């Protein structure tokens, strides 16, 4: 498969494109690798955008590699927007009409924020939050304002609320669902986060949908109405109702001049198989912009829009591009994490918001209402299926193994002190959780104990 001196061009300098480029370079000395992006000169961490706004970091801190890294690894960086792709001629056309050819093309163009055709959605002061440019826009849009409204109760929504909160800008947070993020989180967890949002003096409005956005004479937002008919004055509206693949520029019709140009097959995203191949030879798609013909696993979606999957797509494609024996993409046990204001969240395996008869769950919440853990396990086989943890860090390797090897739930429960990843000296709750379970089930399981010496020298035993 690998040919000498191939000219590999990657559109998109996000986690998927960059990971792909790095791993190609590790195995292929001769390939010419170019990464193109119109967003920034260098790879930065999109997940850290919020921290720039909040003053925790500057842009330069969000760059995972120093600037010399690219030249040292002979990865060419080009700052430009690709306007069209001529798949027949294997050429990219940039917005300044320059062009560039490729032998292998990797599309890693990420996502863009959704807009659902609300009246007033294009007014000044209304925006989504995805790119570096969005961040700059938000900086100028939120100068000297007295209220902001966030529409959409997902991860980016709560991040945006936290960002504004850090600048002491009052926020009203419209969430369509009954509880925050309850299409992902089970009820108790959702309610816990509801409470936490309110505790931060964020005006959370559940079961509230945006009606329209109202502008003033100068075309700036001045208020919104909800579908319930309430009017809220505001000078900023954050639209955070999900993202979708950023492939508008690829959808354009074939170039007139080259008659029989091929078209890329797309639906919501760029259609790929398990090898990240599109319908056009030598063209691949990875990361947020790719849509699998078939979901890569039972508990996975056709479009995977998280950092970790972007990285794995990049790794796998790089392997395939540098190996004679390509392998299909096969994700392992699901994991994810987030931070809801002050509450950290980690999840491993399968924990849907509601589950069928086959499963049983154990949920424990600390009295303070900020630490919680939920296990899902098989009713009949008693094997652990997944875990949600809030304010409680868990060991990834432990749960990856426990879930993929189908460990007995009760064994995991009695060894919770071993699987905790909390910093030293933190109060441990594994006994409380076990007591809770024992009480519920009328059992008397005991915690797996560590000796004093083991504790003293920190042996994991």
Ligand X SMILES: Cc1cc2nc3c(=O)[nH]c(=O)nc-3n(C[C@H](O)[C@H](O)[C@H](O)COP(=O)(O)OP(=O)(O)OC[C@H]3O[C@@H](n4cnc5c(N)ncnc54)[C@H](O)[C@@H]3O)c2cc1C
Which residues contact ligand X (rule: CB under 6 A)? 11-17, 36-39, 46-47, 49, 81-82, 108-111, 129-131, 156, 159, 246, 249, 287-288, 305-308, 310, 338
Pairing of strands 372-378, 384-390: antiparallel
- The interface partner of residue 310, options being ligand X, other proteins, none and the CB cut-off 5 to 8 Å by kind, is ligand X
- The interface partner of residue 109, options being other proteins, ligand X, none and the CB cut-off 5 to 8 Å by kind, is ligand X
Whether residue 343 contacts residue 390, with contact meaning beta carbons closer than 8 Å, is answered with: yes
Residue nearest to ligand X as judged by C-beta position: 110
Cα four-point dihedral sign 37, 38, 43, 47: negative
Identity of the residue, 97 or 427, whose beta carbon is nearer to ligand X in the bound complex: 97
- Collapsed DSSP state (helix, strand, coil) of residue 440: helix
Which residues contact other proteins by CB under 8 A?
Answer: 15, 23, 45, 47-48, 51, 54-58, 61-64, 66, 166, 196, 199-200, 307-308, 311-312, 315-316, 318-319, 327-333, 335, 337-339, 341-342, 344, 346, 370, 393-397, 400, 421-427, 457-460
Identity of the residue, 129 or 171, whose beta carbon is nearer to ligand X in the bound complex: 129
Identity of the residue, 337 or 438, whose beta carbon is nearer to other proteins in the bound complex: 337
- The interface partner of residue 48, options being ligand X, other proteins, none and the CB cut-off 5 to 8 Å by kind, is other proteins
Pairing of strands 384-390, 171-174: unpaired
Distance in Å, CB of 397 to other proteins, minimum: 5
Distance in Å, CB of 267 to other proteins, minimum: 23
Whether residue 241 contacts residue 129, with contact meaning beta carbons closer than 8 Å, is answered with: no
Distance of CA 279 to the CA centre of its chain: 26
Distance in Å, CB of 223 to ligand X, minimum: 26
Identity of the residue, 149 or 306, whose beta carbon is nearer to ligand X in the bound complex: 306
**CA–CA separation, 32 vs 74, rounded Å?**
8
CA proximity to 170, closest of 236, 239, 240, 241: 236
Identity of the residue, 62 or 419, whose beta carbon is nearer to ligand X in the bound complex: 62
CA proximity to 230, closest of 202, 255, 247, 205: 205
Cβ-based neighbour number of residue 412 at 10 Å: 20
Cα four-point dihedral sign 410, 411, 417, 419: negative
**CA–CA separation, 313 vs 107, rounded Å?**
12
Distance in Å, CB of 296 to ligand X, minimum: 15
Identity of the residue, 13 or 226, whose beta carbon is nearer to ligand X in the bound complex: 13
């Amino acid at each position: 498969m690998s040919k000498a001196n191939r000219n590999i061009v990657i559109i998109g300098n996000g986690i998927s494109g960059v990971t792909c480029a790095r791993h190609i370079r590790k195995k292929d000395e001769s390939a010419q690798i170019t990464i193109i992006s119109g967003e920034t000169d260098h790879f930065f961490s999109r997940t850290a955008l919020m921290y720039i706004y909040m003053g925790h970091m500057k842009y330069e801190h969000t760059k995972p590699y120093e600037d010399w890294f690219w030249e040292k690894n002979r990865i060419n960086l080009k700052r430009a927007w690709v306007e069209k792709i001529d798949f027949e001629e294997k050429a990219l056309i940039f917005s300044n009409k320059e062009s560039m050819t490729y032998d292998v093309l990797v599309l890693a163009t990420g996502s863009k924020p959704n807009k659902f055709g609300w009246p007033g959605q294009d007014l000044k002061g209304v925006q989504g939050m995805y790119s570096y440019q969005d961040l700059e826009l938000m900086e100028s849009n939120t100068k000297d304002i007295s209220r902001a409204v966030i529409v959409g109760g997902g991860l980016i929504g709560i991040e945006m609320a936290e960002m504004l909160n850090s600048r002491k800008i009052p926020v009203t947070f419209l969430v369509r669902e009954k509880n925050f993020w309850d299409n992902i989180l089970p009820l108790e967890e959702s309610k816990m986060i509801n409470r936490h949002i309110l505790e931060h003096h964020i005006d959370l409005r559940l079961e509230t949908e945006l009606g329209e956005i109202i502008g003033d004479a100068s075309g700036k937002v001045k208020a919104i109405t909800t579908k319930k008919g309430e009017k809220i004055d505001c000078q900023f509206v954050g639209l955070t109702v999900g993202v979708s693949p950023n492939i508008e520029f690829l959808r354009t019709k074939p170039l007139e001049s080259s008659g029989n140009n091929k078209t890329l097959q797309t639906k919501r995203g760029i259609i790929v198989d398990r090898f990240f191949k599109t319908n056009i030879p030598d063209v691949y798609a990875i990361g947020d912009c790719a849509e699998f013909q078939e979901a890569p696993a039972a508990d996975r979606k056709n479009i995977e829009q998280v950092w970790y999957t972007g990285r794995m797509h990049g790794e796998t494609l790089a392997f395939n591009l540098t190996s004679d024996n390509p392998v299909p993409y096969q994700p392992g046990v699901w994991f994810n994490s987030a931070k809801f204001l002050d509450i950290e969240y980690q999840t491993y395996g399968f924990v849907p918001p509601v589950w069928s008869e086959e499963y049983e769950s154990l949920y424990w919440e600390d009295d303070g209402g900020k630490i919680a853990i939920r296990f899902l396990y098989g009713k009949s086989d008693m094997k652990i299926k997944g875990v949600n943890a809030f304010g409680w860090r868990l060991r990834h390797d432990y749960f990856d193994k426990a879930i993929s090897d189908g460990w007995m739930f009760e064994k995991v429960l009695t060894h919770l002190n071993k699987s905790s990843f909390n910093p030293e000296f933190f109060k441990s709750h594994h006994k409380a959780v076990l007591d809770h379970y024992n009480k519920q089930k009328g059992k008397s399981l005991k915690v797996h104990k560590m000796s004093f010496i083991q504790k003293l020298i920190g042996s994991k035993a």
